[in-house]
Amino acid sequence: MKQKYILRGCVLMVLVLCTGRLFAADQCIACHAGVVGDKPSALFKHDIHFAKRISCADCHGGNPKAEEMEAAMNPKQGFKGVPKGDAISQVCARCHSDSTKMKTYGAALPTNQWGNLQTSAHGKLSTTGKEHIAQCITCHNAHGIVSVKNPASPVYPLNVVKTCSKCHANAAFMRTYNPSLPIDQAEKYRTSVHGALNAKGDPKPAVCSSCHGSHDIRTSKDAKSSVYPVNMPVTCSKCHSDAQYMAKYRIPTNQYDKFAKSVHGVALLRKHDVGAPSCNSCHGNHGATPPGVESVSKVCGTCHALNADLFSASPHKKAFDDRKLPECETCHSNHEIVTATDTLLGVAPEAVCSRCHQESQNPKGYAIAKTMRQLNDSLALSGSVATALVNEAEQKGMEVTEAKFKLRDARQAHLQMRTMVHAFNEDKFREVINKGMAAASFAKVEAKDAIDEYYFRRIGLGVSTLIITILSIALFLYIRRIEKKQV
Amino acid sequence: MKNTFKKIYAWVDERLELQDLIKFMAKKYVPVHSHSIWYYFGGVSLFLFIIQVVTGILLLMYYKGSEGLAFESIQFIMSKVAFGWLIRSVHSWTANLFILTAMIHMFSVYFEKAYRKPRELTWLSGMLMLFLLLGFGFTGYLLPWNELAFFATKVGTEISGAVPVIGKPIMEFMRGGDDVTGATLSRLFGFHVAVLPGIFTVLLGLHLLLVQRQGMSEPSHYTDQPERERKTMPFFPNFFLRDVLFWLVVLNLIAILAVFFPWELGVKADPFASAPAGIKPEWYFLFMFQTLKYIPAKVWFIDGEVLGILAFGLAGMLWMMVPFWDRKSSRGEQNRFINYIGLFVVMFIIVLTIVGWLA
CA distance A319 to A325: 8
Residue B111's closest CA among B217, B29, B17, B268? Answer: B217
C-alpha B54, offset from chain centre: 16
Contacts of A476 in chain B (CB under 8 A): 245
Q: What pLDDT does A212 receive? A: 95
- Total residue length of chain B: 359
List % helix, strand, coil for chain B (3-state, nearest 5).
Answer: 75, 5, 25
CA distance B45 to B57: 18
Average pLDDT of the residues of chain B: 92
Q: What is the pLDDT of residues A142-196, one digit of tens each?
A: 998 999 999 999 999 999 999 999 999 999 999 999 888 999 999 999 999 999 9
pLDDT at residue A350 tops 60: yes
CA distance B105 to B41: 5
Q: Give the SS3 label for residue B67.
A: coil
Domain over B29-285 is classified CATH 1.20.810.10: yes
Residue A177's closest CA among A128, A226, A109, A112? Answer: A128
Q: Is A33 a domain residue?
A: yes
- How many CA atoms lie less than 13 Å away from A139 in the CB half-sphere? 23
Residue type, A260: A
CA distance B233 to B25: 11
- Distance, in angstroms, between A477 CA and closest chain B CA? 11
Q: What is the pLDDT of residues B294-312, one digit of tens each?
A: 999 888 888 888 899 999 9
- Distance, in angstroms, between A379 CA and closest chain B CA? 26
Confidence of residue A8 (pLDDT cuts 50, 70, 90): low
Q: Is A229 a domain residue?
A: no
Contacts of B265 in chain A (CB under 8 A): 399
**Maximum mean pLDDT: which of A7-16, A270-279, B227-236:** A270-279
Q: Considering just the CA atoms, what is the radius of gyration of chain B in Å?
A: 23
DSSP code at position B165: T
Contacts of A461 in chain B (CB under 8 A): 255-256, 259-260
Q: Is A337 a domain residue?
A: no
Confidence of residue A4 (pLDDT cuts 50, 70, 90): low
By the 8 A CB rule, do A438 and A430 touch? Answer: no
Domain containing A426: what range?
Answer: 344-449
- Distance, in angstroms, between B259 CA and closest chain A CA? 7
Cα dist. A116→A91, A112, A177, B283, B310 in Å?
A: 16, 6, 20, 62, 63
Contacts of B85 in chain A (CB under 8 A): 399, 457
Q: Is A28 a domain residue?
A: yes
By the 8 A CB rule, do A131 and A124 touch? Answer: no
CA distance B159 to A182: 58
- Distance, in angstroms, between B155 CA and closest chain A CA? 28
- Distance, in angstroms, between B238 CA and closest chain A CA? 7
Q: What residues of A are in the B interface, CB distance below 8 Å?
A: 397-402, 450, 457-458, 460-461, 464-465, 468-469, 471-472, 475-476, 478-479, 482-483, 486
pLDDT at residue A296 tops 90: no
- Distance, in angstroms, between A404 CA and closest chain B CA? 13
3-state secondary structure chain A: CHHHHHHHHHHHHHHHHHHHHHHHHCHHHHHHHHHHCCHHHHHHCCCHHHHCCCCHHHHHCCCCCCCCHHHHCCHHHCCCCCCCCHHHHHHHHHHHCCHHHHHHCCCCCCCCHHHHHHHCHHHCECCCCCCECCCHHHHHCCCCCCCCCCCCCCCCHHHHHHHHHHHHCCHHHHHCCCCCCCCCHHHHHHHCHHHHHHHCCCCCCCCHHHHHCCCCCCCCCCCCCCCCCCCHHHHHHHHHCCHHHHHHHCCCCCHHHHHHHCHHHHHHHHCCCCCCCCHHHHHCCCCCCCCCHHHHHHHHHCCCHHHHHHHHCCHHHHHHHHCCCCHHHHHHCCCCCCCCCHHHCCCCCCCCHHHCCCCCCCHHHHHHHHHHHHHHHHHHHHHHHHHHHHHHHHHCCCCCHHHHHHHHHHHHHHHHHHHHHHHCCHHHHHHHHHHHHHHHHHHHHHHHHHHHHHHHHHHHHHHHHHHHHHHHHHHHHHHHHHHHHHC
Burial class for A409, CB neighbours closer than 10 Å (0-12, 13-18, 19+): middle
Task: Give ipTM to 2 decimals.
Answer: 0.84
Best to test chain B binding among A472, A481, A485, A487 (most B CBs inside 10 Å)? A472
By the 8 A CB rule, do B123 and B109 touch? Answer: yes
Kindly report the pTM of this predicted structure.
0.66
Q: What is the pLDDT of residues B71-126, one digit of tens each?
A: 999 999 998 899 999 999 999 999 999 999 999 999 999 999 999 989 999 999 99
Q: What is the pLDDT of residues A320-342, one digit of tens each?
A: 888 888 888 889 988 988 888 88
Average pLDDT of the residues of chain A: 89
**Are B79 and A400 an interchain contact pair (Cβ–Cβ within 8 Å)?**
yes
Euclidean distance between the first and the last CA atom of chain B, given in angstroms as a whole number: 60
Q: Which of B86, B244, B262 sits opposite A475 (nearest CB)?
A: B244
A314 vs A12 pLDDT, higher one: A314
By the 8 A CB rule, do B133 and B98 touch? Answer: yes
Q: What is the pLDDT of residues A68-106, one digit of tens each?
A: 888 888 888 888 889 988 999 999 999 999 999 898 888
**Are B75 and A401 an interchain contact pair (Cβ–Cβ within 8 Å)?**
yes
Q: What pLDDT does B351 receive? A: 97
Q: What is the pLDDT of residues A422-461, one digit of tens each?
A: 999 999 999 999 999 999 999 999 999 999 999 999 999 9
Q: Is A44 a domain residue?
A: yes
By the 8 A CB rule, do B30 and B39 touch? Answer: yes
Report yes or no: B253 at the A interface, CB cutoff 8 Å.
no
Q: Is A1 a domain residue?
A: yes
CB pairs under 8 A between A and B: 52
State the average pLDDT over residues A357-381. 92
Burial B204-226 (b: 16+ CB within 10 A, else e): bebbeebbeeeebbbbeebeeee
Residue B153's closest CA among B143, B162, B163? Answer: B143
Q: Give the SS3 label for residue B29.
A: strand
Contacts of B86 in chain A (CB under 8 A): 457
Residue B113's closest CA among B352, B344, B322? Answer: B322
CA distance B19 to B26: 10
Q: Which of B75, B79, B256 sits opposite A465 (nearest CB)?
A: B256
Contacts of residue A378, defined as CB under 8 A and 6 or more positions apart, other chains included, come to A433, A437
CA distance B269 to B66: 12
Q: Considering just the CA atoms, what is the radius of gyration of chain A in Å?
A: 39
Q: What pLDDT does B173 receive? A: 94
Report the run of H or E that residue B311 belongs to, with start and end: helix B304-320
Report yes or no: B69 at the A interface, CB cutoff 8 Å.
no
How many domains is chain A built from? Answer: 2
Q: What pLDDT does A261 receive? A: 94
CA distance B114 to B102: 15
Domain end residue (candidates: A121, A136, A170): A121
pLDDT at residue A14 tops 60: no
Domain end residue (candidates: A121, A140, A160): A121
Report yes or no: B347 at the A interface, CB cutoff 8 Å.
no
Q: What are phi and psi of B118, to 5 degrees?
A: -100, 25
Beta-carbon count within 10 A of B20 CB: 10
DSSP code at position B55: H
3-state secondary structure A163-181: HHHHHHCCHHHHHCCCCCC
Burial class for B93, CB neighbours closer than 10 Å (0-12, 13-18, 19+): buried
Own/partner contacts of B332-339, CB < 8 Å, gap of 24 or more, are B332/B220, B332/B223, B334/B220, B335/B113, B338/B110, B338/B113, B339/B111
pLDDT at residue B283 tops 50: yes
* Domain layout of chain B by residue ranges: 29-285
Cα dist. A53→A19, A49, A81, A448 in Å?
A: 11, 6, 20, 93
